[in-house]
Structure 1
Amino acid sequence: MEKYLNEYALLETGCAMGIAHRMAKKQREISVAEFFEKNKQILGFDSLTKALVVSVKEAVDNSLDACEEAEILPDIYVEIQNVSKDEYKIIVEDNGPGIIRRNIPLVFGKLLYGSRFHAIRQSRGQQGIGISAVVLYGQLTTGKPTRVISKIKEEEVAYEVLLTIDTKKNEPRVIKEIPKIWDREQGTRIEISIRARYVRGKQSVYEYLQQTAIVNPHAQITFVEPDGKKTIFKRATDKLPPPTREIKPHPHGIELGELLNMARNTKTYRLTSFLTNEFSRVSPKITEEICKKAYLYGDMRPQELSIEEAKRLLEAFKKVKLMAPPTDCLSPIGETLIKKGLKNVLGSLRPSFYAQPVTRTPKVYSGNPFVVEVGLVYGGELPKDQPVRILRFANRVPLLYQQGACVTTKAISSVDWRRYGLEQRGGQGIPVGPAIILVHVASTRVPFTSEAKEAIADVPEIREEIELALKSLGRQLRLYNVKKERKSKMTEKFFLVNKLLPEIARKSAEIVEKPIPPLEPVISKIMNVVWIDESVEKEEDKIKVNVRVANFTSKHQKFVLYGDYPLGNLIDTDGIAEEDYVKWDVDIEPVSYRHFYFTLKDADKYGETNYYVEGISPNIVIGAEPLPGDWNIKLSEIEEIVEDEDMENGEDVEEEFEVIDDE
């Protein structure tokens, strides 16, 4: 019996070994290109419409990053050609620095190949997947190779490369490489055929390029659609974004495995040198304190750091006071350029109000610096009965998909917009009204919810910053609506006074048989405001805007008036012409008028001018706001405006404006 049992055990062991060996033969390394070939939806290629947008986005983002890094004003050409049903050719050409010959196949034909992954600074692309994933998607859906032409300034000729990707090895397969005479001094052109579907409207290539032009006002983008329609998004400024500087990791953003990996690969020989040289904001004094709290010797070799010692080091990082990471690794758009970008692209909608954009001071989440910027336009031809349009951006890149999953949308929905003049059921959800809200998050590491980079994760620190910035915009919108309502009532009052008083004065003078008394002092006492309004004269392709300032107060007034016109090239003015506004020094006697003017081109795109005043109490001005950036409005003045309109009591106003003191 024992003999049979032993034979059975040997047979069973042999079968098990046979299965294990067969399984082992099937196991092999999976190429990253092969993985994404079978899981293209992870990168955003999950529908034909979206595939086209993602492909253009990756190519344009690369062009913008290359131009900015080389300090070149971007001039980007995008064309989409309809090859056949559901097949389109994408052409993207830029004036960037170009790519050296040997690197062309690697940049476009190898996934996870790039120069920005290890750099801790703000940039659009970081993973090295984007454009090579488009090449992979193109060959997967059409079987056609990608054509690349690139030229650097130092060489006489460009190089044309025809390539595909070897998905088994994640290596480029060069089909043809030839020198080529190209009329560009430098730049790169890529042509990719993909299976896709072209639409125009929401979540389209046009919308992506339009939004890109808003947050990249220094770029000029030319777009040719499949039907031949050409659109040029002209640059609104010749100023490049400030260059970003690469920084070292911050101790508060380090994980255990990352710390151990850094320690093993460092070239330093002492723990104190490792902490001081490899991390930002760690001084020699702080290093001594960290070592003391971690119970570690400063002269120990970092390569010998054990897991337990590394854990103590991480705990010590939390116990010492460390400065936030440097913020010169970020390149925010800036308040002026956000407003300029909104005007340049959305001016045809003729908004009646451009809120002064808000750029928050940089903050930190998990050791990663970030900054939040917001902007808002209101009124004009924007629909009043639809939810506000939300423009989401991360590192100057539009986010068109997964709006509901994004922290931006959640922050907008959590603000009670009813207090600021927009409709919102229950004080939650996306508000309804004629408005567009722009939110931009810039960071060295944007916490996207997926590799497709379509939504920002709900990080509490980021959400709080967005909410505070949005409330600041809401206060501006609230004040604008209050003063607009007040102006409407004052206009009615003014016309009644001007119509009735002369009749009363005439009848009274007849009764008492005396001359009609001067009415200006009486009108001034009743009105007690400085009135600013405009009238427009159209002449072919230009308009003349006449500005009237009336002093209906009993005092002499002296202040500065700014006319922040919405769109168009300034031709002439009797004021001081600045880059995107006109300025007048107003000196006006009681009960008198002053007239000013400016002339613009592009009459068909003219909306309303935003007027701002400096050097005068905004409480007595109708038709202009306090100068942005100088909002020295006393709470009592705000309360007085609101109480005059019976819109809100002083207690509510104080609650609404409590954030001012916090900031």
Structure 2
Amino acid sequence: MEIAEELAKHQKAISVAEFFEKNRQILGFDSAPRALITTVKEAVDNSLDACEEADILPDIFVQILRRGEGFRVVVEDNGPGIVGGEVPRVFAKLLYGSRFHALKQSRGQQGIGISAGVLYSQLTTGRPTAVTTKIGPTHRAGRWELMINTATNEPEVLKTEETEWDRPHGTRVELEMEGSYVRSRRQSIYGYLKNVAIVNPHARITLVEPDGNVEVFERATDKMPSPSYEIKPHPLGMELGGLIKMLRYTDKKKLKSFLAGSFSSVGAIISQEICDRAELDPEMAPQDLTHSEATRLLAAFKEMRLKSPPTDCLSPIGEELIRAGLEKEYRVDFIATTKRPVSVYAGNPFQVEVGLAYGGELKGDGKVEVLRFANRVPLLYQQGGCAITHAIENVSWKIYSLSQPGGGVPVGPAALLVHIASTNIPFTSESKDAVADVPEIVAEVELGLKEVGRKLRRYISKKSALSERKEKEEIIRKILPRISKKLSELLAREEPDINPVVAKIMGNLLVKRSVASENGLALVTLEVANYGDASKAFKLHETVSVEAEAVEPPARVIALGDGYDHLWKISLRPGERQQIRYTVPSEGVRFSEPVVEGVASELVSGARVVG
């Protein structure tokens, strides 16, 4: 027997499950701590996608239990549930899913996801995965125990039964595996779920840690993300092999109807023009195109000025919810956000959103905290190899008042959040840890970073100016009272109120109250004057123990537990002043200090400042 014939006996096909069984590090199971994080990540991603597709506010429960040397991971959601026949394939067959061919934004794209966790579970413990699911209040829950046949990449159902479950609908998955539980700010299950909560503020997530500690990430809004819709491929994103495949398997009878019906941004007129440029008969059958004709068709795509793909396939977070998410998880002094216009790379629409949090409890002695997200999913690993990090490093942060010693990620009390939404995130590997350096994406991230950087620079500059004003005012307030006291003693007169003088010197907003009693009534006058060089719009609160009468101009009155809050909305141009008058009984009335809302405290004299 020839050697080639002997070697041929040992050749056999490898299933995808068998491949990943021997190369589990590709899927993110390369260390004990990361194995647990990856499993929770894939299960939570599935839960969030399922809830959003069913327009259900997500309520997700994650529990990590110690089981001997390993752990039991439980993830439960209130989603729509899974039809019984689909459960084995969803959880125990790799590369099985509904989102791989759909051109719309979603967390899961590859169909590996949770089935990779099932594979790792059975590899390390030999135990099956338990799945409980219920599709409605009138249905009984079903429970499956599953494993993956790695030789065939097919599910093996070890046990199935109906069971009672108090949820009206939802899915619960339980996996046992080897792992290591760590509790850190970033690369941990806690850190992952904290980041999920920031960019998914509509979700409520409960984590029960192995020691019994319970962490609840409450939802910050009841507003669901805008839904994303499936679109057709864009001609500019096509490659020759993909185009030939589409031509071969289309059910369209004519080339012009194939073009108009298979691609976005292509109608009847454009399809005719494409055929003319490619010198092809629009009436010919798509299946009859030769290799050279398909090449000419692809070249015609590149020559056309086509509209960008539709953008309703994306579901960005939005500036308002990014701000809400950051405010919910961080105590900071300043937040800036921006949302870039939709752009396109290789025919794939994408959108970049950036948030910057500054000051407060953030530490200023190290690098800024970088929060990377793709389709609302946190990216915890391979930060140095990610396009988002490279874009951050490309920006000259010194211009925006952050130090950047030696280049790289800037240093300071800040957190940078970057979210990329796309129909096809170009990840660098199957573990979906980092975004590839696509020039269009890097450029858009840089533009978003520079935009929030400019906002930060204006804030820091304004804060610095206000700080200098405050120092100057404090010096004046130390000197003027001494002068005032000496003059009062020399002239034998009552010591005057120095607030008006300070306000004039500093260019502040002055609030001064005077009270004159007559016939058992006290006539109260609030004089408000703008000594600054810019207009000021603000709210003025006057809290009195009784409700005022003869109020001019009229006020909005709010009853409090110990008095009444009188509120005026005021707008004053530079140098303008306004008087407010009201009456109260001359005896037994208590006044609180006037309160100004909407102006920096450094710019106000004679009143307390809130907000």
Sort the TM-score into its range (normalised by shorter chain). Answer: 0.7 to 0.9
Is 1:359 the counterpart of 2:339? The answer is yes
Q: 1:89 to 1:554 in 2, by over 3 A?
A: closer
Is 1:559 the counterpart of 2:546? The answer is no
Q: 2:123 aligns with which of 140, 162, 165?
A: 140
Q: 1:375 aligns with which of 343, 349, 355?
A: 355
Contact 1:520/1:591 (<8 A) preserved: no
User: 1:251-308, CA deviations, whole angstroms, 9 ceiling, x for partnerless residues?
Assistant: 0111111101111111111111111110000122211221111111111111111111
User: 1:598-631, CA deviations, whole angstroms, 9 ceiling, x for partnerless residues?
Assistant: 9xxxxxxxxxxxx689xxxxx9899xxxxxxxxx
Q: 2:444 aligns with which of 465, 468, 471?
A: 465
Contact 1:554/1:591 (<8 A) preserved: no
Q: 1:120 aligns with which of 96, 103, 120?
A: 103
Contact 1:252/1:366 (<8 A) preserved: yes
1:514 to partner: Cα distance: 9.8
1:377 to partner: Cα distance: 1.0
Structure 1 residue identity aligned to 2:123: L
Q: 1:620 to 1:512 in 2, by over 3 A?
A: closer
User: 1:227-274, CA deviations, whole angstroms, 9 ceiling, x for partnerless residues?
Assistant: 000011000000110111100000011111110111111111111111
Q: 2:172 aligns with which of 177, 185, 189?
A: 189
Is 1:44 the counterpart of 2:28? The answer is yes
Contact 1:146/1:164 (<8 A) preserved: yes
1:525 to partner: Cα distance: 3.8
Structure 2 residue identity aligned to 1:526: I
SS at match of 2:9: helix
1:407 to partner: Cα distance: 0.6
Q: 1:169 aligns with which of 122, 129, 152?
A: 152
User: 1:628-661, CA deviations, whole angstroms, 9 ceiling, x for partnerless residues?
Assistant: xxxxxxxxxxxxxxxxxxxxxxxxxxxxxxxxxx
1:492 to partner: Cα distance: 1.6
Contact 1:409/1:430 (<8 A) preserved: yes
1:518 to partner: Cα distance: 8.0
Structure 1 residue identity aligned to 2:77: D
Q: 1:512 to 1:222 in 2, by over 3 A?
A: closer
TM-score when scaled to structure 2? 0.85
SS at match of 2:100: coil
Partner of 1:632: none
1:517 to partner: Cα distance: 8.5
SS at match of 1:149: strand
1:30 to partner: Cα distance: 1.0
TM-score when scaled to structure 1? 0.78
Structure 2 residue identity aligned to 1:108: F
Contact 2:530/2:536 (<8 A) preserved: no
1:526 to partner: Cα distance: 2.5
Partner of 1:448: 427
Is 1:345 the counterpart of 2:329? The answer is yes
Structure 1 residue identity aligned to 2:351: V
Q: 1:414 to 1:620 in 2, by over 3 A?
A: farther
Is 1:74 the counterpart of 2:53? The answer is no
Structure 2 residue identity aligned to 1:411: A
1:367 to partner: Cα distance: 0.4
Structure 1 residue identity aligned to 2:457: R
Q: 1:328 to 1:612 in 2, by over 3 A?
A: farther
Partner of 1:541: none
More helix per residue: 1 or 2? Answer: 1
Partner of 1:257: 241
> More displaced, 492-501 or 70-79?
492-501
Structure 2 residue identity aligned to 1:590: R
Structure 1 residue identity aligned to 2:577: P
C-alpha distance in 1 between matches for 2:499 and 2:414: 40
Q: 1:209 to 1:584 in 2, by over 3 A?
A: farther
Partner of 1:431: 410
Partner of 1:288: 272
C-alpha distance in 1 between matches for 2:533 and 2:368: 43
Is 1:475 the counterpart of 2:467? The answer is no
Is 1:278 the counterpart of 2:258? The answer is no
C-alpha distance in 2 between matches for 1:456 and 1:556: 46
Q: 1:554 to 1:406 in 2, by over 3 A?
A: closer
Partner of 1:212: 196
SS at match of 1:120: coil
1:595 to partner: Cα distance: 4.0
SS at match of 1:26: coil
Contact 1:521/1:554 (<8 A) preserved: no
SS at match of 1:425: coil
SS at match of 1:60: helix
Structure 2 residue identity aligned to 1:170: N
C-alpha distance in 1 between matches for 2:266 and 2:126: 53
Is 1:495 the counterpart of 2:479? The answer is no
1:310 to partner: Cα distance: 1.1
C-alpha distance in 1 between matches for 2:38 and 2:5: 43
Partner of 2:518: none
C-alpha distance in 2 between matches for 1:264 and 1:595: 78
Structure 1: runs of 5+ lacking an equivalent: 1-14, 533-547, 563-572, 576-582, 599-610, 614-618, 623-663
Q: 1:198 to 1:341 in 2, by over 3 A?
A: same
C-alpha distance in 2 between matches for 1:459 and 1:574: 58
C-alpha distance in 1 between matches for 2:212 and 2:389: 35
Partner of 1:411: 391
Structure 2 residue identity aligned to 1:40: R
Q: 1:526 aligns with which of 505, 508, 515?
A: 505
Aligned length: 552
Contact 2:50/2:79 (<8 A) preserved: yes
Contact 1:553/1:591 (<8 A) preserved: no
Q: 1:505 to 1:389 in 2, by over 3 A?
A: same
> More displaced, 288-297 or 417-426?
417-426
Structure 1 residue identity aligned to 2:334: F
1:23 to partner: Cα distance: 1.7
Q: 1:240 aligns with which of 198, 210, 224?
A: 224
C-alpha distance in 2 between matches for 1:508 and 1:62: 77
Q: 1:211 to 1:561 in 2, by over 3 A?
A: farther
Contact 1:422/1:432 (<8 A) preserved: yes
1:585 to partner: Cα distance: 3.1
SS at match of 2:577: coil
1:496 to partner: Cα distance: 2.5
1:19 to partner: Cα distance: 1.9
Q: 1:104 aligns with which of 87, 94, 100?
A: 87
Partner of 2:521: none
SS at match of 1:150: strand
> More displaced, 509-518 or 520-529?
509-518
C-alpha distance in 2 between matches for 1:337 and 1:429: 29
C-alpha distance in 2 between matches for 1:368 and 1:173: 37
C-alpha distance in 2 between matches for 1:329 and 1:410: 27
Q: Which residues of 2 match residues 506-525 of structure 1 at below 5 A?
A: 522-525=501-504
1:42 to partner: Cα distance: 0.7
Contact 2:386/2:437 (<8 A) preserved: yes
C-alpha distance in 1 between matches for 2:187 and 2:510: 44
1:156 to partner: Cα distance: 2.3
Q: 1:399 aligns with which of 369, 374, 379?
A: 379
